[in-house]
Amino acid sequence: MKLLKFRSRGPEVHFLEELLTDLGYDVFVSNYFAWDTHLAVKQFQKENDLVIDGLVGVKTWSKLLGKNRQVFDQNSKLLSERDLEDFAKNYDLELAVVKAVNEVESNGRGFLADGRAKILFEGHIFWRELKKRGQNPQEFVSEQSKDILYPRWTKTHYQGGAGEYTRLNKATLLSKDPVFKEAAYRSASWGSFQIMGFNADSLGFKSIDDFVNKMQKHEREHLNAFGKFLEVNHLIGHLKSKNWAKFAKGYNGPAYAQNKYDTKLKKAYEKYS
């Protein structure tokens, strides 16, 4: 595993913080190694007879993984080379293109350390989905629900990792009306490629429950949903022509250039080709 320390960034940090959270340490799960993570790592090292330096190297990784046995139980859910080859054949794409997109657009891993699919709950989408179902979201706004129901996007209430399931479950229980559960599931993004639940119908899933169940099975299902999303949104052609800018704009939105997604895709393709 990669050596991590204070101010490191990347999916490895996200995974580290998931492991720490599952062990009971109070850290915010993100892609940034902040001071709370630094303190948690030092505390973990102290409790496990390791050198207390805040550096997550081979020894600290080994101890962390050894105490999170469920990590190994989910290894059967990970993508293989064959999965990417099948995807490339199905969409008539170069394997190097598929590997580049998988590297840049996937979220590192599709599952949390506890084996559940990664999610991110969006309270403003929940607001919109409730309105679609004839509910007045304003009637359900309170001090207790302010972190799951709001009219405009904000990242203020993100918890990351397993904390997003806490927010999702809270949303499903906001009312006994079954439309609240459906609206909540449609308001989270799921798996490696963070496909929003409200896309379930257009991607050919029988229901939102069918979509969620498949997202919990295997990263292969995440890849399949991703392929359907690209197809429905007419993005496959941009991959065939290697028009990285148009693809990135279609998938990542207008801020793609600011985040250099097109440049990252091109660089990754060149590496794999």
Q: What is the pTM of this model?
A: 0.78
Q: Which two tokens stand for residue 96?
A: 């190097």
The string of DSSP letters for 185-247 reads: HHTEEETTTTEEGGGTTTTT-SSHHHHHHHHTT-HHHHHHHHHHHHHHTT-HHHHHTT-HHHH
Q: Does pLDDT of 2 surpass 90? A: no
**Stretch 128-139: mean pLDDT:** 97
Q: Tell me: the pLDDT tens digits for 216-262?
A: 999 999 999 999 999 999 999 999 999 999 999 999 998 899 989 99
Give the position of tokens 């949104």.
233
CATH number of 11-68: 1.10.101.10
**Enclosing H/E stretch for 21:** helix 11-22
Q: Lowest mean pLDDT: which of 72-76, 209-213, 229-233, 242-246?
A: 72-76
- Residue 68's pLDDT is 77
Please give the Cα distance from 230 to 251 (Å, whole number): 8
Where does the pLDDT of residue 95 fall: very low under 50, low under 70, confident under 90, or very high at 90 and above?
very high
Q: Does pLDDT of 108 surpass 80? A: no
Nearest to 233 by CA among 196, 189, 268: 196
Neighbours of 220 (CB within 10 A): 20
> Residue type for 39, please?
L
Long-range contacts of 148-155 (CB under 8 A, 24+ apart): 148/121, 148/123, 148/174, 149/123, 149/174, 150/123, 150/124, 151/124, 151/127, 152/124, 153/122, 153/124, 154/123, 154/124
- Residue 76's pLDDT is 77
The string of DSSP letters for 73-97 reads: HTGGGS--HHHHHHHHHHTT--HHH
Q: Tell me: the pLDDT tens digits for 9-36?
A: 988 898 899 899 889 899 988 889 999 9
Please give the Cα distance from 24 to 17 (Å, whole number): 11
- Residue 69's pLDDT is 66
Nearest to 165 by CA among 107, 120, 122, 212: 120
Where does the pLDDT of residue 96 fall: very low under 50, low under 70, confident under 90, or very high at 90 and above?
very high
Q: Lowest mean pLDDT: which of 18-27, 134-143, 150-159, 202-211?
A: 18-27
Mean pLDDT estimate for the chain:
93
> Residue type for 215, please?
M
The string of DSSP letters for 98-122 reads: HHHHHHHHS-S-SB-TTSSBPEEE-
Nearest to 89 by CA among 270, 223, 256, 252: 223
